[in-house]
Amino acid sequence: MDYSELEQKLGYTFKNKDLLTLSLTHTTYVFEQKGEHYQSNQRLEYVGDAVADLVIGRKLYELKPEADEGYLSKIRSIIVCEESFAKVARRLGLGELLLMGKGEEMTGGRDKDSTLADAFEAITAAVYFDSDFETVREVVLRNLEDIIELAVDGKIFLDYKSRLLEIAQTKNHQHKITFTITDERGPQHEREFDVEVYADDTFLAKATGRSKKDAEQKGAKAAIEVYERIFAI
């Protein structure tokens, strides 16, 4: 597979292309090929998450010299999260490049936030192993630059659920917000939950997440936009 376009977008050219291929190998593809779990990108995800944590933590430490630990942790959690990583992964076109099992692909696996976020974490680790910390630091910051800026400027909410509940209890609007889990599936280590969000009896949005909390946060984010449109805040 030709990865030149991806490498150009990413801002890094791999010396070891096998590392890049491994970072784009989903567990379902390995399973279909009768391989072992370590031949997928899961181990790289583990390292990539830690690398991103450190890179973003250091960047925020430098950007906000007077900020306390609580603020830094909150902003980092907004940046180093599934939603942010999935956004970057889509910009890089990772979904189209993933080696994935046919069943997963047929159910929309190439555009799942969780899968895309995992792929970005894996590529982050692959860059780190293929180069050094300073290089991967530059790559991570370049690809997350806009998200870092929005988070620091307070333009990205962390707790969408609380925000939705707050909006629904303003002076002119007194709606009861409910989150209903409609389905859960998958093995214990890859569980997925579906949630629907309502304002009284009015359906607002639905979402899928890796945990009930994750699904509710995603559902709340989508619901805020719909709520403000329906009830004309």
Active site residues: 49, 121
The span from the CA of 140 to the CA of 39, in Å, is 24
CA 82-167-78 angle, to 5 degrees, is: 20
* DSSP per residue, the chain: ---HHHHHHHT---S-HHHHHHHTB-HHHHHHTT--GGGSSHHHHHHHHHHHHHHHHHHHHHH-TT--HHHHHHHHHHHSSHHHHHHHHHHHTHHHH-B--HHHHHTTGGG-HHHHHHHHHHHHHHHHHHS-HHHHHHHHHHHHHHHHHHHHTT-S-S-HHHHHHHHTTSTT----EEEEEEEEES-GGG-EEEEEEEETTEEEEEEEESSHHHHHHHHHHHHHHHHHHHTT-
First to last CA, the chain: 49
Q: How far is CA 120 from the centre of its chain?
A: 9
